[in-house]
Amino acid sequence: MVVVGADPVTQRTWYLSKALLIRHCTHLAEICTNPFLTSVTLEDVDIRAFTNFVDYMRSSIYTLNEQIPGYRRVHEGIKACLIGQKLGCMAYSNAAIISLHMGFEPLAQLKTSNKRLSTIRAEDIDFVCRNTNKDENNNDLCKGLRQLFHDAVASHWSNWEVNKLTGHHDEYMGDWTELCVNYDDFRVTLLASCRTSDAQRHALFKPVNQYLSVEKRKVDEEATVKVDSPGCIPRRHRRSQACSDSEACSFWERAEAGIVNTGATQNGDEDALGREETGEVRARDGNGWTMVNGATKKKA
C-alpha cells in the first residue's frame, strides 16, 4: 500500500504490489524488501504526478492525464521528470525529457519564433530551477532538465527579445528579469545567445541526448513514449532518403538509437503500442512502417 500526500484530507492510497514497485522504483526497493512493512507514505510527492507514474508502471507507456483542472503539458512534464528522479525511475524521467524536447523542438526550428509563441512561462523556469541544482555533480539528469528549459527559451525567443532582457537595453521585464537575477546560469545562457541571429537560433537547442542522464543515454529499460503533440512525426519518413526536415531526422535518429519508441502518428493517434511476447518493443506509425527495437522496416 502506498499513501501519497501530507494532508490526511487530500491523501490518496494505492494498493500496488511490492514486485511492481521494486521493478520501477529503485529508491523504494530497500523498503519494499522488508517483509514486515505493509505500507509506505510519500508525504512530499505530488498526487497528480504519482497518478501518471502509476499508469506508467502498469503499462510501460509514458502519457499524461489531460483531464484535470488547470492542466498544462509543460508543467506536468516537469513534475513527471522530477518524480522519476525522486523515486529512482530514470526511464520515466528520460521519457518525460524526450516528450518535453519533442514539444519544444518545432518552435526552436522556426526562424520566426518569438517569446509570444513559446509555451514556456516564467513560472516554469522558476519551478525547474527551484527543484534542481545547477552544481549537483551526481545528478546529471536534473541538470539536463534545467539546461533543456534554458536552451528552449534561448532558441524560442528572438535575438531582439533576448537583448532587450539581457543586452544593452537591460529592460525590466517583470518575472523574466527576476529569473535572471535569481538564477545566474539562466542569465548566462541568454547572454551567450545575444549575438546569435534569428536564422541561427535553432542551433541553441541541442539534440535530446545532450539532456538525458548519461547512464541512460543508451536505454536499458523499456520506455515507450506516447507523444501528444501533432505533427511531430512525419509520414513514411526514412533516414535513407534525402531529407531537409531536421525535426523529422532528429526523431528518427532518436528512434534508431533506441532512445524512444513511440506509437503516435502524425495526427497524434495511438497505434499498436506494447511489448510482444518475444520481448521486442514495437510501434507502428499507421502508414505501413514498424519499429522493432529501434529499427524500421516495412510490413509485409
Domain coordinates of the chain in residue numbers? 2-215
Which is more confidently placed, 150 or 136? 150
Predicted model pTM: 0.72
Residue among 259, 251, 260, 257 at smallest CA distance from 283: 260
Residues 6+ apart with CB under 8 A from 162: 154, 190, 193, 194
Q: What are phi and psi of 148, to 5 degrees?
A: -55, -45
Residue 273 has pLDDT above 70, yes or no: no
Taking all residues of the chain, what is their mean pLDDT, rounded to a whole number?
77
* The predicted structure's pLDDT at residue 268: 37
What is the reported pLDDT for 136?
A: 60
Instruction: Encode 94-108: b = buried (16+ Cβ within 10 Å), e = exposed.
Output: bbbbbbbbbbbbebb
